[in-house]
Structure 1
């Protein structure tokens, strides 16, 4: 263990168990060496911050009574056996990676709450009819490689065949990065969990929207996760001198701008759950202030509660882009990078989770459609899933301003413990 991790571990050891400790641990993990950078949080897949985070999380999991390993896809996994060794597991967790200049709680809070959940049963000397497993998915954000949710897609067995055939912006291939990290890329897909190994999946997450805050409520239950698609648009014009007459230009940047505005207009027509984001645009290395842009690439992230709504909007956007490019005499191409069908959370699990929130918080939690993507949407391919949303100040996420209240997180942990107890009484979750 590094000296930095030893110091952090010693500081964490003095904290009282519970939701506040989960928050404090997230705060600790938002700083170097658990981040690749010293001035803000950036913890990409397979970086030094990821390695340090897995190292200290291993210690916390072991203290909570778990046996710990890295699965073949680089996900950290802790297991607390049930009454019957080898029983199916209630899998609890989220992701440990982050976007650049991130907040402390997106993803990581769900992992730390999973550790606290197991710790509570371990300190009470209790075993359940099922095992408890806590997972920290290594890649959810895709902030290093042009990938998305590699960790949970590997566990769910829904990786596309060419998922590992990518490189980061520095030219490092994912295959080489895995090998350098001690993960065999040829065994990456072996992280798959067959149906029956996972009895259910629970993910706690900050809401990433302000609805709970606006309602004055600490917790909500997710009804479904929006269907998503990501595309890259390439617009090809003709690079030219800035003195070129306006009517002679084939400007890739102005054409791209028109497409971006068309995307905004189409998404704004609704329904309200339809959202479209152009989060990245590049004019290339040869761009300059005195050159008419010859080529532009930009991203499109498209989401809706229903796949049909998303796909209908995509068709309208593609048609608008084609018309704009024809009018402006530029070429274009669209590449689909990712497509996720979304997921509907399990009704029985959601009823149990809502009941747990009622018991500990004293109100009926709202059911919320998550516009943000989560690892739960992939795990739904192998097990029933449920998600607990935790109030986040202003709904701000993917931002250093992320903020949660200790009291809200304490309630979340209490609800998770109650939820596990409820499942332990359900014959559906008792081992033969």
Structure 2
């Protein structure tokens, strides 16, 4: 099996060019632009000889039968949707690397023992419905009725959105795969960090995917006239919010030298009345905490609010917190990590173990079977930004390691 690096790169460039022309590189899930990319991708799957279909959860799947139909499938994939103005290689590298491996396998005349499935998961990135990893949740049986009832700003429900992309939300139960039904899942992804590039290491072997917790924190004071209200009499919610933001930053920064560092971000804040001449009466913020330490992720927001509450009360403010979502850290399987290491060594490529600070579909696929991830460097660690960039050689290295990992897993797994 020989990987055609030029073909892989041409496909990466072609799919990335299917973008909102006013905002490259943007291909948001549940949009006509996303469907255009999906149509192109499905055509490439079929041309490569894959049995191609969209499952009930809206995942695009291409399949190569194995020589032993009794064996569980090996899955390879990622996602083709993007965040706004970012994602030229994030996600699509994993899908197209999987496609290149499958096509090269078919062209070589070889056949795996295990069935092989290449998956483009629906909406890995946070969607307008307020939910991420929608397709992989569906695969794992983790899409609830509450999820399906979520609405985006224009009123469309997630149930309607899944149907819009060709899924069948009324049949979700039929697509959910139970634990132990997948032999292995492997994904190639850009690192989205600077470790591999700074150390000149071509391949990263992911040890675990961090846990992610989001909480809504509301600081309530009193809206007043900005000119007529003396400073000592104010109950300025935004001042209280700033205290929380600074404290969260300092507490997370203090973990930087830990084996399991934690990051905390207030990435969204809504202030009301939100007027230049009004004292803010309320500030609603979203706190996101990420770490491989499950206990630390759970405790951070609660401790932050508890410890800052007395200081906020001195400012005549109240503060409340409510959880929005929580995904536990997910470990990558030792057997798959070993196969990636052996595959890289056989190709003469150095490796480094490192955690993933970003979330991935593998978190939910792990409920169906063991997972592993292969990282390749990206320029200056930039991702989710227009500057996101990799080279054809980096894409090729990751795909060659994926191909060899697949061969090893096919012989080692039952």
2:286 to 289, 299, 309: 299
Runs (4+) off by over 6 Å? none
Q: What are the equivalent positions in structure 2 for 1:286-325 lying under 5 Å apart?
A: 286-325=273-312
Q: What is the aligned partner in structure 2 of residue 115 from structure 1?
A: 99
1:277 and 2:277 correspond: no
More moved, 336-345 vs 83-92:
83-92
TM, length-normalised to structure 2: 0.93
| Equivalent pair of 1:222/1:368 in contact (CA under 8 Å) | yes
Cα 1:406–1:287 change in 2 (3 A) is: same
Cα 1:376–1:263 change in 2 (3 A) is: same
| Count, aligned residues | 409
Offset of 1:179 from its aligned partner?
Answer: 3.7
Cα 1:374–1:180 change in 2 (3 A) is: closer
Q: What is the aligned partner in structure 2 of residue 124 from structure 1?
A: 108
Q: What is the aligned partner in structure 2 of residue 8 from structure 1?
A: none
Indicate the SS of the match to 1:361.
coil
Q: Distance in 2 between matches of 1:323 and 1:172?
A: 42
Indicate the SS of the match to 1:28.
helix
Q: What is the aligned partner in structure 2 of residue 10 from structure 1?
A: none
Q: Distance in 2 between matches of 1:268 and 1:39?
A: 33
Q: CA offsets, 1:55-89, max 9 Å, x none?
A: 11111111221111111111111111111346421
Q: Distance in 1 between matches of 2:107 and 2:365?
A: 29
2:389 to 387, 403, 418: 403
1:370 and 2:356 correspond: yes
2:324 to 318, 337, 342: 337
Q: What is the aligned partner in structure 1 of residue 398 from structure 2?
A: 412
Q: CA offsets, 1:327-384, max 9 Å, x none?
A: 2222332221211111111111110111101111343x11111111111121111101
Q: CA offsets, 1:398-422, max 9 Å, x none?
A: 0111111111211111111111111
1:422 to 405, 408, 411: 408
Indicate the SS of the match to 1:278.
strand
Offset of 1:36 from its aligned partner?
Answer: 4.5
Offset of 1:51 from its aligned partner?
Answer: 0.8
Q: CA offsets, 1:207-241, max 9 Å, x none?
A: 01100001101111001111111112222221111
1:35 and 2:25 correspond: no
Indicate the SS of the match to 2:359.
coil
Unaligned runs of 5+ in 1: 1-15
| Equivalent pair of 1:92/1:134 in contact (CA under 8 Å) | yes
Q: CA RMSD in A?
A: 1.9
Indicate the SS of the match to 2:82.
coil
1:267 and 2:255 correspond: no
2:79 to 77, 95, 109: 95
Offset of 1:170 from its aligned partner?
Answer: 3.1
Q: What are the equivalent positions in structure 2 for 1:173-322 lying under 5 Å apart?
A: 173-243=157-227, 244-270=229-255, 271=258, 273-284=261-272, 286-322=273-309
Q: CA offsets, 1:12-32, max 9 Å, x none?
A: xxxx9733433332332233x
Cα 1:392–1:48 change in 2 (3 A) is: same
Q: CA offsets, 1:100-153, max 9 Å, x none?
A: 111301111101101001011011121100011011111111132211212111
Cα 1:92–1:279 change in 2 (3 A) is: same
Q: Distance in 1 between matches of 2:237 and 2:120?
A: 42
| Equivalent pair of 2:59/2:120 in contact (CA under 8 Å) | yes
| Equivalent pair of 1:19/1:113 in contact (CA under 8 Å) | no
Q: Distance in 2 between matches of 1:254 and 1:190?
A: 51
Cα 1:241–1:26 change in 2 (3 A) is: farther
| Equivalent pair of 2:197/2:380 in contact (CA under 8 Å) | yes
Q: Distance in 1 between matches of 2:54 and 2:14?
A: 22
Q: Distance in 1 between matches of 2:10 and 2:313?
A: 55
Cα 1:247–1:345 change in 2 (3 A) is: same
Unaligned runs of 5+ in 2: none
More moved, 166-175 vs 237-246:
166-175
| Equivalent pair of 2:54/2:61 in contact (CA under 8 Å) | yes
Q: Distance in 1 between matches of 2:226 and 2:114?
A: 68
Q: Distance in 2 between matches of 1:322 and 1:22?
A: 54
Indicate the SS of the match to 2:347.
helix
Indicate the SS of the match to 1:27.
helix
Q: What is the aligned partner in structure 1 of residue 373 from structure 2?
A: 387
Offset of 1:161 from its aligned partner?
Answer: 4.7
| Equivalent pair of 2:65/2:115 in contact (CA under 8 Å) | yes
